[in-house]
Copies of this chain bind each other. A is one copy, B any other.
Amino acid sequence: MTGSADLKPHLARSHVMDLMRQMLRIRRFEEKCIELYATERIRGFLHVYIGEEAVAVGALPTLTPDDAVVATYREHGQALIRGVPMNAIMAEMYGKQEGCSGGRGGSMHIFDVAHRFYGGNAIVGGGLPLAVGMALADKMCNRRRVTACFFGDGAVAEGEFHESLNLAAVWKLPILFVCENNLYAMGTALELTESETDLHLKAQSYRISSVAVDGMDVVAVEAAARRATAAIRAGEGPQFLECRTYRFRAHSAFDPELYRSKTEVEEWKKRGPIERFGAWAEANAILHPTDFAALEQEVAAEIEAAVAFAESGNWEPVETLTRGVYAEVAP
């Protein structure tokens, strides 16, 4: 595994098992969502994280419960790993009252303040300024927290990316930018839209220290994220992590995938984060076939329970439609 050399010592069986479990939780959850979309239990836009699991699984456990996360519309994975209960996420996908956002948000707007999970933003680039402000508040209050902000390669072209990186750097804010570079923004390849496709270099032009890692390698991501969050906690200001990854499925349910070849997708699938990590763990006799089976079973049970929970959830009555437009009491 790339970059895993210096981390081997930490790769205890329990940790390997945990990484595997978390990646599987995302993978199987997303697969179930696709199924549920086909049967119209889930509606609206659905963006799944299949192929990119190593990013969330590698990066998020380096945060503490006090830290915060801001994500995009492709955020089920982050939410799951952050600890938002799968039941609440699934109910949200259904639009049920028991969803983590009360059913109001759906797939693109997963929120859970108890887990300091601040969405779920469906405007590309729109989460970055928000994360900057959260980090600013922490800095002004001398709170030793990190705000991790996830966004795609597409967001890099937006003006808000530029403004946010600059602000974070000028003000030396405790923020971790995580760029999920899956090479495409919907159907447009990065190389057609960025003059500099080595995205982590962009961060350096703001004097933000940055690194690019193999986003298909959960151990590499974890190592890099750990270094980055440690630097932030040490007061070194914002850090930028470019995770080079790939989306195995269509952008959303409406995407006919005309813009890339099947071969390209297949090539990347060979590097699948679960597949490779699993093979490595097995080859090194850290995990055994029975472990995989047990994990799959455990995950399947969790998903089944989540579906049951969502199915049995309630629709908000129409009478409360105008709820949640204005807050009544100061937070």
Chain B residues, CB < 8 A from A160:
159
The one of B159, B204, B206 that contacts A158, using a Cβ cutoff of 8 Å: B159
Q: Is A162 an interface residue (CB 8 A)?
A: yes
Chain B residues, CB < 8 A from A162:
159, 161-163
Number of interface residues of A (CB under 8 A): 22
Find out whether the CB atom of B170 lies under 8 angstroms from the CB atom of A192. yes
Q: Is A86 an interface residue (CB 8 A)?
A: no
Provide the bound-state CA to CA distance between A162 and B159, in Å: 6
Provide the bound-state CA to CA distance between A200 and B304, in Å: 56
Provide the bound-state CA to CA distance between A207 and B202, in Å: 10
Asked, given contacts A205-B196, A206-B195, whether A159 binds B169 with beta carbons under 8 Å apart, the answer is no
Chain B residues, CB < 8 A from A166:
157, 193-195
Provide the bound-state CA to CA distance between A205 and B169, in Å: 16
A207 to chain B, nearest CB (A): 5
Provide the bound-state CA to CA distance between A193 and B195, in Å: 25
A170 to chain B, nearest CB (A): 5
List which A206-260 residues lie within 8 A (CB) of chain B.
Answer: 206-208
Provide the bound-state CA to CA distance between A206 and B162, in Å: 12
A209 to chain B, nearest CB (A): 12
Q: Is A34 an interface residue (CB 8 A)?
A: no
Chain B residues, CB < 8 A from A169:
195-196
A binding-site residues for B, Cβ under 8 Å: 157-163, 166, 169-170, 192-196, 201-202, 204-208
A sample of 10 more A-B contacts (CB under 8 A), given A166-B193, A170-B194, is A157-B166, A158-B159, A159-B159, A159-B160, A159-B161, A162-B162, A166-B194, A195-B207, A196-B207, A202-B205
